[in-house]
Amino acid sequence: MMAAAAAAERCGRDPCGALCPLLAYLSVGYADYAVLAHVLPQPALRSSPWCPIHAVTFNLLVLLLLASHTRAVFADPGVVPLPGTAIDFSDLHPTERNSDEWTLCSRCEAYRPPHAHHCRVCHRCVRRMDHHCPWINNCIGELNQKYFIQFLFYTGLTSAYAAGLVLAVWLGPSGGDGTENRIQTAHCVVLLLESLLFGIFVTVVFYDQVVSILTEQPHKRGSKEACGGRAWAAALQEVFGGGCVLGWLCPCSTPSRPTYSLLPHGDV
């Protein structure tokens, strides 16, 4: 309930944050409808023993896409908690500090850990904030970046799968009357354009997120081992958690939640 209330409050501050998730759900719903009602029933696929497998696999990808998107929307991105007692900042002035040091936020009037930034939409500081994404109506931060990357990954896979099915239909045998073919062709064209548009978009964002993780994690800044395989694995584990790599693809698992004191070095 608290997560839903926070999401609704963000929608009030950012109308685009309400529109983009709705557009995403409508696009996914249409893609699922087009595949099941107009792509798989065509002669090139319906007579194949793979047809039911395609239907199950595509819907499984859609389910994982929606699950990861929902987790990214409602998960705490890593909001920096406010201290229980007010801190007097009257004699303090923000100064330029190293990114690995604690800083103070004049808007929250609180200290924030390294790499935390203030979000103008959420009006709070978020740990390891990447950006505020209207597509999930939430910040991308320390605790929900995993779900956001999963959302991008499954959106890319779903788009590629849908585009592949459309191409299989066009390269395979045709059949049916002219009216039915025109309707199915129209849906195939729209589905292919949607798949290419979203597929290219999420691929670019996915690449940017992965590169950011591999090159900008705090423990790797300035490290000569930034290009090493162990350093990359450690950076990915900070986002996706330890354990089996296949577990990184599951939107049900929760990344480890680090603990921070409210003040640097535990000072009061």
Q: Cβ distance 207 to 178 under 8 Å?
A: no
- What are the CA-CA distances from residue 146 to residues 76, 143, 199 (Å)? 12, 7, 19
Tracing tokens 């939430």 back to the chain, one arrives at 138
What is the distance between the alpha carbons of residues 70 and 78, in angstroms, rounded to a whole number?
A: 16
**182: Cβ–Cβ under 8 A, 6 or more apart, which residues?**
none
- 10 Å CB burial of residue 137 (0-12, 13-18, 19+) is buried
The residue annotated as part of the active site, out of 105, 108, 125, 133, is 133
Please check whether residue 113 is in contact with residue 102, taking contact to mean a CB–CB distance below 8 angstroms.
yes
- Neighbouring CB atoms inside 10 A of 266's CB total 8
For residues 89-127, one letter each, b for 16 or more C-beta atoms within 10 angstroms of the residue's C-beta and e for the rest, the string is: eeeeeeeeeeeeebbbbeebebbbbbbbbbbebbebbbb
Amino acid in position 30: Y
Burial label for 68, CB within 10 Å (0-12, 13-18, 19+), is buried
Q: Per the structure block, which two tokens stand in for 35?
A: 């595949």
Helix (H, G, I), strand (E, B) or coil at 95: coil
Catalytic residue list contains 133? yes
Q: Which residues are catalytic?
A: 133
